[in-house]
Amino acid sequence: MLCVCVCGCAAAGYTVFEPIAVFSDDILFSAKISGGRADYVYKRMKDAISEIDNEISLSKADSALSRFNNAAQNERIEVGEHAFNLFKLSCEYYELTDGAFNCAALPLSRLWRVDSASLACLNGESDAADLPSPERVNETTAYCDPNTVTAECVDGRYYLTKTNGNTELDFGGIAKGYAVDECVDILNEYDVSSALIDISGNAYFYGSYIDSGVSSDWGVGVLSPRPRNGPSLSRGYVVALSLGGDVSAVTSGDYMRYRTVETSDGKIYVPHIMRANGVPLGVEYDGNNWKNSDDWVISATVIGNSSALSDALSTAMCALGIDKGGELLKKVGYKGLIFTEKKYTIIGEVSLYRPDIYDGYRRYDYYEL
Amino acid sequence: MNFERIKRVKSSKAFTVPDAIVSVIMVIAVIACALFVYRLPSADVIISVRGEKDIRLSLDSETDIELKHLTVHIHGGQVWVTDADCADKTCENIGKISGTWQRIVCLPNGVVISVTGDDDSLQWEIGR
Ligand SMILES: [Zn+2]
């Protein structure tokens, strides 16, 4: 009996924790953890994630971030350590990405009705009447700047203060990655040799993949950005990655959260990813109307050590475009892939897993940066 | 040690006819095992209807599937559509597909048929 159990455990290798909703109903946390303390490690991770959520949730009216967003100009709001850390990281990434990653863009998302709350009640479709005027966009962009917020740490307590009453923060763009990094810290505390942590596509591969005692790279499929809707199965993989251990991989794209708007010239797509000019990815003004651009980034994958930075960079690469986004990734020293509607490029030494089978990238033209 | 026996072995032919037969059989066996272990993972056909239902079948399945608005044929490693009731017949005109990630789409009926690889060998997926 003991033998059966021991053999069974050795063969199974990982304890698999099925997806559960964290942060919000559509953000799922899943894990695979090797070793005897998997259940305990998992529980610690779950607790860490809900601790972060309690501080930064925008659907909880009493969270520190909700209180900050509702605060008046110059009103000092005490926040927790996570909210403070997330703000500091977000400011760092705002500078790094030339404003492409912006934790203060919530009023813009709301203006375009691509924030989580609007997308949930719009159910995707609407007409051109509710698209903002370019003037409104410019007005709003002016105060969507994390530099209008001051952060202080006094005697071990953390405070955020707005210098513009309209400013609101949303850490949705790096919270998943930040939470994954916190989970990795927990894995480091225990004797875990191999694990996989995933919060809605923000994945971290801890150690090598172990199958029946043999270590190998992780084979990771990157879902195709097209067709935009439909079940993931019919989208297939645009490419698969072969990842050695201790690395995070994150994909952002225009297909994840967007709405369609019926204009006089036809249907346009408005993705939730906002650019530094206050206009969503793939959208431009032709002098009379908002329309979709000829080509834009539809999927950007970043591979790097920090999941928070990978999370921010994958969004920023969509906003920056294939050239600037690729250059930024090179500068940071992370690896990745960028796809536009027509072409793709690879940054750094990315090893593809079975490109003979996972060859969706062949539908795009290779573009040399 | 038996010196007589050593001498006899040393004087015998190094490679006899039975040896050759055994060798050939062994080589064939090794190749067969290698082919079995490393056989190419077969591709799958995924039929998605109105973005709701996913049907997954092997590309080798040699079958015909009658859906409400069209019939999908999977034969000889190829997939094609006939008897579509849509007006444009785009799905039928695409013809036969076989390569991975090729696709037949019948927009009016919301049917997407794609050929994919063996996803089971992957440990995870990102980009949802
Ligand atoms: Zn058709």
Instruction: Say if CB A106 and CB A95 are below 8 A apart.
Output: no
Q: Which of A209, A223, A233 sits opposite B127 (nearest CB)?
A: A223
What residues 25-44 of chain B have any CB closer than 8 A to a CB of chain A? Answer: 41, 43
Closest to A250 (Cα-Cα) out of A269, A223, A212:
A223
Using the Cβ of B121 and the Cβ atoms of chain A, whether some distance falls under 8 Å is answered with yes
Instruction: Say if CB A144 and CB A104 are below 8 A apart.
Output: yes
Nearest CA in chain B to A300: B127
Chain B positions touching A358 (Cβ under 8 A) are: 100, 117
Using the Cβ of A200 and the Cβ atoms of chain B, whether some distance falls under 8 Å is answered with yes
Fill in the DSSP letter of residue A1: -
Using the Cβ of B51 and the Cβ atoms of chain A, whether some distance falls under 8 Å is answered with yes
DSSP strand pairing (A343-347 vs A365-366)? parallel
B65 CA to chain A: closest CA distance, Å? Answer: 17
Q: In whole angstroms, what is the distance from residue A290 CA to residue A114 CA?
A: 15
B25 CA to chain A: closest CA distance, Å? Answer: 31
Instruction: Say if CB A280 and CB A254 are below 8 A apart.
Output: no
Instruction: Say if CB B79 and CB B73 are below 8 A apart.
Output: yes
E strand or H helix at A247, and its extent?
strand A247-253
**Helix, strand or coil, per DSSP, at residue A187:** helix
| Interval between CA B70 and ligand 1 midpoint (Å) | 8
Task: Select the more confidently predicted residue: B106 or B117.
Answer: B106
| Interval between CA B94 and ligand 1 midpoint (Å) | 10
Residue with tokens 């790097």: A304
| Alpha-carbon torsion (A29, A32, A35, A39), positive or negative | positive
| Interval between CA B88 and ligand 1 midpoint (Å) | 6
Mean pLDDT confidence for B37-60 = 71
Q: Which of B43, B56, B125 sits opposite A220 (nearest CB)?
A: B125
Could you tell me the two tokens for A178? 């930040």
In terms of C-beta density within 10 A (0-12 exposed, 13-18 middle, 19 or more buried), how is residue A97 classed?
A: buried
Could you give phi then psi for residue A8, rounded to 5 degrees? -60, -45
| Interval between CA A230 and ligand 1 midpoint (Å) | 17
B40, B57, B126: best to mutate for the A interface, most A CBs within 10 A = B126
- Residue-level pLDDT at A332: 97
- Residue-level pLDDT at B120: 58
Q: In whole angstroms, what is the distance from residue A138 CA to residue A140 CA?
A: 5
* Cα dihedral: A78, A80, A86, A90 (round 10): 10
- Residue-level pLDDT at A9: 40
> So what's the architecture of B44-125 in CATH?
Sandwich (2.60)
**Helix, strand or coil, per DSSP, at residue A356:** coil
Residue with tokens 């920090």: A306
What is the identity of the amino acid at A15? Answer: T
Residue with tokens 């056989």: B39
Domains, in order of start, for chain A: 2-58+172-254+297-366 (3.10.520.10)
Name residues with Cβ closer than 5 Å to ligand 1, which is an ion: B 84, 86, 91, 106
Q: Would you write out chain A's pLDDT as a tens digit for each of its 369 residues?
A: 333 333 334 434 899 998 899 988 778 999 999 988 999 999 999 999 999 999 999 988 999 999 999 999 999 999 999 999 999 999 999 999 999 999 999 999 999 999 988 888 776 567 777 899 999 999 999 999 999 999 999 999 999 999 999 999 999 999 999 999 999 999 999 989 999 999 998 999 999 999 888 899 999 999 889 877 655 555 678 999 999 999 999 999 999 889 999 888 888 999 999 999 999 999 999 998 999 999 999 999 999 999 999 999 999 999 999 999 999 999 999 999 999 999 999 999 999 998 877 888 988 999 999
Could you give the ipTM of this predicted complex?
A: 0.89
Could you give phi then psi for residue A30, rounded to 5 degrees? -130, 155
Q: Check A233 against B123: CB less than 8 A apart.
A: no
Closest to A68 (Cα-Cα) out of A60, A93, A137, A178:
A60
Q: Check A357 against B43: CB less than 8 A apart.
A: yes
| Alpha-carbon torsion (A56, A119, A248, A343), positive or negative | negative
Fill in the DSSP letter of residue A68: H
- Residue-level pLDDT at B39: 38
CB atoms under 10 Å from CB of B30, counted, come to: 10
Degrees, nearest 5: CA angle A163-A165-A166: 120
What are the extents of the domains in chain B? 3-37, 44-125
Q: Please, which contacts does B105-108 make with residues 24 or more away whose CB atoms are closer than 8 Å?
A: B105/A227, B106/B69, B106/B70, B106/B81
- Residue-level pLDDT at B4: 57
Supply the DSSP string of A194-223, one letter for each residue.
-EEEEETTEEEEES-EEETTEEEPEEEEEE
